[in-house]
Structure 1
Amino acid sequence: MWANKQRGIRVSQEELLCKNACGYYGNPAWQGFCSKCWREKSRPAGTPRQDTRPSSDGGLPTFSKFEEKKNIEKGRRINTVRRLFWGSSSPPKPQESPESHAKVLKAYQNLEPGDFTGFLKILRSPSSQRLQSRCTAFLNTMEAYHDLPVQKQSDLVQDFYQSFAEHFRSFPEDQVTQIMEHVEKLIMTRLHKWVFCHDSCDDEQKDLALQRRIRSLNWVTPQMLSVPFPDETIPVTSDPFMPAITAIIEMDAKRAPQDKLACVSKCSQHVFEALSTSNSEPANADDFLSGLIYVVLKANPPRLHSNMQYVIRFGLPHSLMAGESGYYFTNLSCAVAFIEKLDGPALNLSPEEFTGYMQGQRAPAALTKRQQLASDTQHLLEELKGRQEKLHQGADVLNAQLQKWVQTVHSQLDEATTQFALVRMEMTAQAEVSQVVSPSAHDASQQGDDKEQTMLLFNDQRLGSQDTDC
């Protein structure tokens, strides 16, 4: 049935990229644009656009390059943030000396990648008091104005990222990225409870709708999605996609956007590993997207829509626009969009078949086989449980019989011991009597011996005389 059909859900690399042809990854949440182009597109009419083309060196998007051409709207928003921080449109003059500034920059420059604890130590040092004060003021302001619409909060957070990165504009771009990842983790761990699934948006309703949609598609099999999954040889308990399912479920427990992205990356890597073990051919992009859709359908991750929107609104731009994490997150967005619009032709099913599956009137053969296998396993477990109960009952009966036998042996041993004591007493008494009568018995025995010797001598003499006669 599947030999003459295209394998996998085919999405070309061009379809994953931004519709504005800027070279970065797009996202269905931004109507196919990347976050940079989407923000530019959403600006009021008449506002000059920034240059969204990729750099000539082909490098990743950077913080300093994002701010090369300031515009009026960006300046107004930054001034608003500054007024919230310091009460005026301009920040206070820095009081630190050039030596202190150079010292703190050197400390950040020597920071190891991923050392969040070391970043906190440097930030809390006296030389970083100015940066620490900015973070504290921003956090206090965001918590005080947590009733703002979530998009306004997103703009404030993104502006804070840009203004904070300006402090390290002399650093190489990879170091700026590492420092800003620490800043994002610090800020968003504190703000998570205020901005995640905010009341000003409909994330909660969309979460419930997506969850119901995925639950209604629990009948979809790997064969329908053209996922290389050998149902005939792999038992139910050995699903190769189980690590990926676990990783995508863990995303809801994380607070920082980069930690949620790490769960998406971990899930995607497990999908590639599962595809490599289930298929003799190397996994391609089509197989990966099909496998990711299967994982989402089987996992039904909690608050998936809210988690994705949280990463989109408050994550660092470079994490979603390029790189491995951006590719994986874009594929996850495509998988969710595919599930929301899933119909019969997408699964090589007729509309009647699709409706029958959705209404529970039909069941795939592979799913029926797995259900039968699960039912047989359940019956086997129940049978083994009954055997175990009978075994326990037999062991109890045997134990009671053993205890009764031990008691019988003990009673017989006691009786034998008593009889032995009586016999010993009788033997002792007989020995004493024999010692009293021993002299007379000795004489009688001696007389008997003498008589016997006399008879023997007489017989010898008689025999001797007979020999002489001869």
Structure 2
Amino acid sequence: METSAAASVTFYDFLDRMRNPASLDLVRSIKSFIVSFSFYAANPENDGKRVQEFFLTMEAAIREHPLWTGATDEEVDCAMEGLEKYVMTKLFSRTFASAPEDAKIDREILEKIALLQTFLKPEHLDIPAVLHNEASWLANPPQLHSNLKFIQLYRRQAKLVSEAAYYFTNLVSAKTFVVDLSAKSLSMDETQFEESMQAARLTNKATQIDASPTLQGQTDPGPPRRTNNKERDISGRSNYPYMDAEAGDLTVEDVERLLSLYKDVVTKYTNLSTAVRHLSTSKTEPSIPQSEGTSFLLTRSEGINANADHES
């Protein structure tokens, strides 16, 4: 499989060739294809077919193009890798988790794995003791369904073969197994399985309640703390009841509640920081460089649409 460094070289080589005025016809084809997606309602299956057909058309065009005269199959494949990354980066918001049910399935899988992690052990799956590795059971990837669907629909079909296809198929099978998993799938009594799942649901629910002091049914937090007008919501209650509190004002119950909130805040902050770093990295990807011959292929989708309107 291609390393990150090799992928970057492949991508930048593609961008560099697109800077060449001789690539004008290829750039026009890429621009036209990206803009064309705004003409159709989102439909994952149809979108996937259009992308795959475009990749096949572009591969044929690249093989016949003067810029790749005498190019080896490996060099053409590198160009296609660069093209795929560029196109799918531009179309990501349209193609990833685009169907309403995708978010629902992602959430259901995430929640089910979280429940199973509380009691499921390797022996329940008849995994030999020599292969037990508890650490590998800690992963619960978010948006698993959407990621697999994106790869299945938009990864060039020529790359989903051999070893890559083997690993991908295993991952899809694992997802399906989790979705359909019941007591019959395990070496576990059905009653025990249902009781374990129910206990896991109650534990998760209790954890959520402990981390949410504003939920109805929460014990009385005590007398209201000193607040200013900016800290009061429309109902007149303080949004931040401990902001003006002194150490001597706190009770034992307050300390327990604050500790629970602290842990929840740290967890959310860590997850948010990771997501922001990932988002910041994904937004810094370079676009096809502009030159005298290719300046009309703008780097922003808004620019592309605006230019398309101008040309029309």
TM-score normalised by structure 1 residue count:
0.37
Q: 2:61 corresponds to which residue?
A: 167
Deviation at 1:191, TM superposition (A): 0.5
Deviation at 1:229, TM superposition (A): 6.3
What amino acid sits opposite 1:208 in the alignment? R
- Percentage of matched positions with identical amino acids: 27
Q: Which of 123, 128, 134 lines up with 2:18 in the alignment?
A: 123
Q: 1:192 corresponds to which residue?
A: 92
* Matched-pair contact (CA < 8 Å) for 2:10–2:81: no
Matching of residues 301-450 of structure 1 within 5 Å = 301-320=141-160, 322-360=161-199
What amino acid sits opposite 1:163 in the alignment? T
What amino acid sits opposite 1:323 in the alignment? S
Deviation at 1:240, TM superposition (A): 4.9
Deviation at 1:353, TM superposition (A): 2.0
Give, in whole Å, the separation in 2 of the partners of 1:203 and 1:148: 13
Over 3 Å counting, the alpha-carbon distance change for 1:119 and 1:360 in structure 2 is: same
Q: 1:216 corresponds to which residue?
A: 115
Give, in whole Å, the separation in 1 of the partners of 2:30 and 2:58: 9
1:145 matched to 2:39: yes
Over 3 Å counting, the alpha-carbon distance change for 1:179 and 1:355 in structure 2 is: same
Q: 1:181 corresponds to which residue?
A: 81
- 3-state SS of paired residue (2:182): coil
Give, in whole Å, the separation in 2 of the partners of 1:189 and 1:228: 43
- 3-state SS of paired residue (1:224): helix
Cα distance per residue 1:375-409 (max 9 Å; x no partner): xxxxxxxxxxxxxxxxxxxxxxxxxxxxxxxxxxx
What amino acid sits opposite 1:175 in the alignment? E
- 3-state SS of paired residue (1:198): coil
What amino acid sits opposite 2:45 in the alignment? Q
* Matched-pair contact (CA < 8 Å) for 2:11–2:81: no
Deviation at 1:216, TM superposition (A): 2.2
Deviation at 1:182, TM superposition (A): 1.2
Matching of residues 270-281 of structure 1 within 5 Å = none
Q: 2:30 corresponds to which residue?
A: 135
1:154 matched to 2:42: no
What amino acid sits opposite 1:344 in the alignment? A
Deviation at 1:161, TM superposition (A): 0.4
Q: 1:256 corresponds to which residue?
A: none
What amino acid sits opposite 2:87 in the alignment? I
Q: 2:286 corresponds to which residue?
A: none
Cα distance per residue 1:149-172 (max 9 Å; x no partner): 222221211111011011244654
What amino acid sits opposite 1:118 in the alignment? D
Deviation at 1:114, TM superposition (A): 4.4
Give, in whole Å, the separation in 2 of the partners of 1:148 and 1:162: 21
Q: Aligned pairs, how many?
A: 189
Matching of residues 200-211 of structure 1 within 5 Å = 201-211=100-110
What amino acid sits opposite 1:313 in the alignment? L
* Matched-pair contact (CA < 8 Å) for 2:11–2:83: no
* Matched-pair contact (CA < 8 Å) for 1:223–1:229: no
Give, in whole Å, the separation in 1 of the partners of 2:47 and 2:28: 20
Deviation at 1:132, TM superposition (A): 1.3
Q: CA RMSD in A?
A: 3.0
Which ranges in structure 1 are unaligned for 5 or more consecutive residues? 1-110, 242-293, 362-470
Give, in whole Å, the separation in 2 of the partners of 1:169 and 1:228: 52
- 3-state SS of paired residue (1:197): coil
Give, in whole Å, the separation in 1 of the partners of 2:43 and 2:7: 37
1:299 matched to 2:136: no
* Matched-pair contact (CA < 8 Å) for 1:114–1:178: no
Matching of residues 19-168 of structure 1 within 5 Å = 114-142=9-37, 144-145=38-39, 147-168=41-62
For the pair shown, the structure with the greater C-alpha radius of gyration is: 1
TM-score normalised by structure 2 residue count:
0.54
Over 3 Å counting, the alpha-carbon distance change for 1:216 and 1:112 in structure 2 is: closer
What amino acid sits opposite 1:180 in the alignment? M
